[in-house]
Homo-oligomer: A and B are copies of this chain.
Amino acid sequence: MRSIGDVGEQGLIERIARPERGQHRGAVVLGIGDDAAVLRPRKGEDVVVSSDAAVEGVHFRFETATPRNIGRRALVANLSDLAAMGARPFGFTLALAAPPSLPLAAFDGLFAGMRHEAGLHACPLVGGNLTRARETSLVITVIGGVARGRALRRDGLRAGDRLFVTGDLGKSALAVARAERGDAPHRYVATPRLAAGRALARMNGVGGCIDLSDGFASDLGHCLRASGCGADITTSAVPLPRGYRSACRRLGVDPLRLALTGGEDYELLFSLRASVHRRTTAGALSSRLATPVTEVGSVSATRGLRGLPFSARSPAQAGWRHF
């Protein structure tokens, strides 16, 4: 089996940097191959940038997911950060570190996965870096643009705001739970809510917004701390996928706990000012964002997170930590 060490750096770069026929250049003035990429914002656009790492043994394992799935999820995690800011993608850079023994098929699979998501969301690879290391890791930086002053923020929640989420929660955590059991390889890839984020950035009366990467309880906690507020959640309203409860029961896991603490949903959690949106229905929002939207609670001046069927105090329950 050929490894990336057999191909050499130049050969690997050539595999990555192949120009794609008919590729829409979008914001890209100068892509891969120079000291840096050059991107052109639209007139009056602010630039949005976010970096995230996916490390073997921490964020993914080649034993439980295909390289293609790992590559897709790595880019989705980053695109979701742009969605949470209400931004459109310009492009991304990648720093890939890997041992020379990494099979060439795994390398190609990682790139095929990233290229697939890049194509879906018009976010081309514009630069990066290959390095030898003891374990495989992908550090992705996405760059995008949002109309000046319209970026969505996680510190924008205020007492009285109505709280909403897009889509439903728990699919990713269920896929992980299944893969860890060896029932099925991890095939699920969430969709970054870019269109919904951009629609929210254009709307008036939006409070705060965050994407659900660590888990609903944990990410809502980030927003509440940043905003100095609390929240009351209506657990019965939390949107769960079809067939999800029975699938959880077969695995012996608590469906609601998994949905509220599981990561990688990449749905948007956002608030609307009740003064502006007293009569806005979830149905009307769904149309406007072209995405299912559910109301899940409200923001309160009293700090703390209420209504969850467990204590969200412990970090182990409310998301996850690396150190």
Contacts and interface: CB of A to CB of B under 8 A. Distances in A.
Interface of A: 4-5, 7-10, 12, 29-30, 33-41, 46-53, 55, 57-59, 80-82, 84-85, 87, 90, 93-95, 97, 100, 126-135, 137, 139, 141-144, 146, 148-149, 151, 153-155, 210-211, 226, 321-323
A135 B133 contact: yes
Given A33-B154, A37-B49, A93-B141, 14 more contacts: A7-B323, A29-B151, A33-B155, A35-B154, A40-B47, A41-B47, A50-B127, A51-B93, A51-B127, A55-B131, A58-B131, A131-B322, A132-B322, A137-B137
A194 B322 CA distance: 36
A102 to B, nearest CB: 10
A133 B56 CA distance: 8
A93 B93 CA distance: 12
Nearest to A131: B53
Given A40-B148, A100-B323, A133-B135, A93 B50 contact: yes
Given A8-B323, A90-B47, A137 B143 contact: no
B36 A49 contact: yes
A24 to B, nearest CB: 18
Contacts of A143: 47, 49, 143
Contacts of A47: 38-41, 47, 90, 143
Contact of A211 (B35, B51, B134): B35
A103 to B, nearest CB: 13
Contacts of A9: 321-323
Nearest to A197: B35
A134 to B, nearest CB: 5
Nearest to A5: B323
B35 A85 contact: yes
A133 B35 CA distance: 28
Contact of A95 (B52, B90, B323): B52
A271 to B, nearest CB: 15
Q: Tell me which of A5, A50, A82, A135 has the highest count of chain B C-beta atoms within 10 A of its own C-beta.
A: A50
A38 B41 CA distance: 13
A163 B52 CA distance: 39
Which 4 A-B residue pairings sit nearest by Cβ, starting from the closest? Answer: A36-B50, A51-B93, A139-B139, A35-B84
Contacts of A40: 46-47, 148
A87 B141 contact: no
Nearest to A156: B34
Q: Tell me which of A59, A133, A155 has the highest count of chain B C-beta atoms within 10 A of its own C-beta.
A: A133
16 contacts: A35-B154, A36-B82, A36-B87, A36-B142, A37-B48, A39-B48, A51-B95, A51-B139, A51-B141, A55-B131, A95-B139, A100-B323, A129-B139, A131-B137, A134-B135, A137-B137
A51 B128 contact: yes
A315 B63 CA distance: 36
A47 B143 CA distance: 10
